[in-house]
Chain A
Amino acid sequence: MSRALLEVRRLVKRFGGLTVIDDVSFSIPTGQRTALIGPNGAGKTMLFNLLTGVYPPSSGAIFLDDVNLTRVPAVQRVGCGLARTFQNIRLVGHLTALENVLLGQQHRSGGVAGALQAVLFGSNNRWAKEAREGLRAASLHTYADTLVRHLPFGVRKQVELVRAMMARPKLLLLDEPAAGLNPAETGELKRQLEAIAAGGVTVLVIEHDMAFVGEYCDAVIVLNFGRKIATGTPGEVRRLPEVREAYLGTEATVGAD
């Protein structure tokens, strides 16, 4: 099997007297598609924020591809191979889809010289071409020059995904990618995520849509009140009483096991 791409050891995060992540440990092998599930407030997005460096952990360690990320500042983590999307879409509304996607290339763009390369407003250099190609691959090329604030919700989610992939991550963190999508859009999302996984990217996704999790993910980590309460395949996890009680409810209606 593959070795661990992401390893989280005894991660703890406290805010004053409140412990939001309580001694969480897990590892994700390269290429595995993992879901992070749990009730609202369980700490899933907080875990992402710890992984990407928005907050420093109170204790514990994070290793990505054997590199200790724990003390690495947030701005450098994307360079180590991490990219993410956000629960509430965080694109710049008054820029076009293309311009937002260009931001994903930032860490590859090369220092001061890179900063001074013209990339916006009709530039046609390699960066713009690459960004357009990324949008084309996601069938979004017709939206490339539209301001994001005029784009429909589902399209904006896809643009965020393209932006994240533009960072060429090893590990892709998706925060509720299917939330708010209709069935057709969810199907398209799955197709794109299949292609991403086939391309060798390891995916960790926060999701509430258990059908989606069942179809797409190899493994599930369950959080509740900041603690990891279970891991396993989607099928295994669905059957665990503590998971049902905490999250799925006593009558599980998620389809055939």
Chain B
Amino acid sequence: MLAQQLVNGLLLGSIYTLVGVAFTMTIGVLNFLNFSIPAIFMLGGMLSWALIVLAGLPWLGAVALGLAAGGIASLIVERFTYRWLKTTHPDVPLISSVAFLVLFEHLVILHLGAHIQRFPVPFGDANIRAAGLIISIPQLCALGIAIGLVLVLDQVLRRTQLGRCLRAIAESPDTARLLGVDTNRIVPALFGISGMFTALGGILFATNYLQVSPFIGNEVALKGVAAMIIGGMGNIWGAVLGGLMIGIAESLSIHFVGGAAAETVIFAALLLFLCIRPTGLFGDRAVRAQRV
């Protein structure tokens, strides 16, 4: 039984991983907690649903468009938060990104309704039964996709020009600009990538739970943030580990203490982490010291 919970937790955690990676990328490079990420998570799921059910598009095409929409929404957020607001008090871009969260959520409610919708999937209920465990294939694919994408992202950060530029900006945006990094193109690219990561998370969420609503972002938001914190802000593999750990913690908590208390356990753990070891398991690089 415990093994089953662990397996469920891992699969649950893969979704949190994607959101956590999206958060940790923007914080690691830009020192900016992008609170619109949960909204883009929701947009990925809801827009894909709308394209499949309301527009009648084929599943794969709808999902691809949903991903693209996530990237575009993220670019809009960048234009109206980070782009303009780098120089003022740090509360401001955060609150602007929150405003986007509110905006996207309510726009979706207005146009697509506030109800939970059934999310159709092109494959049936496929499960593997092995060693007494039930493993759902879609969930397994979600885990595989999540880890695969992080592997690709890791390579991009390490070996490509884009990755080098991102790391330069993470060290010091002004110096990077002086060295010729075109922040006006690289930063939107970052937002676009993180937007697609989180939109994919939303689509995987919908595929696995077979339902979607305008509020799914709120459910994963804090867990994605927790994944980022546990792994260390700015550390994408840390976010992977953090996401999986939270998935497992949630799965075990639901099994042993029930759903409502499971939430409490997670918040208490997050608060404790923030007070005792805020830099996470692998340390953070994101929060820059004040210069005198």
Contacts and interface: CB of A to CB of B under 8 A. Distances in A.
Interface residues of B, number: 1
B292 interface: yes
A55 B290 CA distance: 12
Interface in B275-292: 292
Contacts of B292: 45, 49, 54-55
Nearest to B290: A54
Interface of B, secondary structure class, is loop
A54 B289 CA distance: 13
Interface in B242-292: 292
A55 B289 CA distance: 13
Contacts of A45: 292
A221 B189 CA distance: 51
Contacts of A54: 292
Contacts of A49: 292
A45 B292 CA distance: 9
Interface string A52-66: 001100000000000
Interface string A183-194: 000000000000
A55 to B, nearest CB: 8
Contacts of A55: 292
Nearest to A86: B292
B283 to A, nearest CB: 15
A54 B292 CA distance: 8
A180 to B, nearest CB: 19
A49 B292 CA distance: 8
Nearest to A54: B292
Interface of B: 292
Per CB-CB distance, the 4 closest pairs between chain A and chain B, nearest first, are A54-B292, A49-B292, A45-B292, A55-B292
4 contacts: A45-B292, A49-B292, A54-B292, A55-B292
